[in-house]
Copies of this chain bind each other. A is one copy, B any other.
C-alpha cells in the first residue's frame, strides 16, 4: 500500500504520464515513510468529454470540441 488511482483526461504525452507516476510515487513514499516498491499506481485516462463539472463536459486540449466546436450530438456516434 498505498494503491493510487489517477483519473486523467486523455491527451498527455507518455513522458508526462511517466513523470506523473514517478513523482506521485516519490511523494507518497516520502510522506508515509514506506518503500517506493510498496506504492502502486493505476493510471486511468478519461475520454475527452467524459468528465463533467456542473454538468458540462470538459474536453482534452487536442479535441476540436475544446475550442468551441461542440460536436453535434444527434449525429455523433460514440467511439
Contacts and interface: CB of A to CB of B under 8 A. Distances in A.
A18 to B, nearest CB: 6
Most buried by B among A2, A15, A41, A58: A2
Interface in A34-79: 35-37, 39-47, 49-58, 71, 73-79
Interface residues of A, number: 62
Contact of A24 (B16, B28, B75): B28
A42 to B, nearest CB: 6
Nearest to A23: B27
Interface of A: 1-28, 30-33, 35-37, 39-47, 49-58, 71, 73-79
A51 to B, nearest CB: 6
Contacts of A45: 47, 50, 78
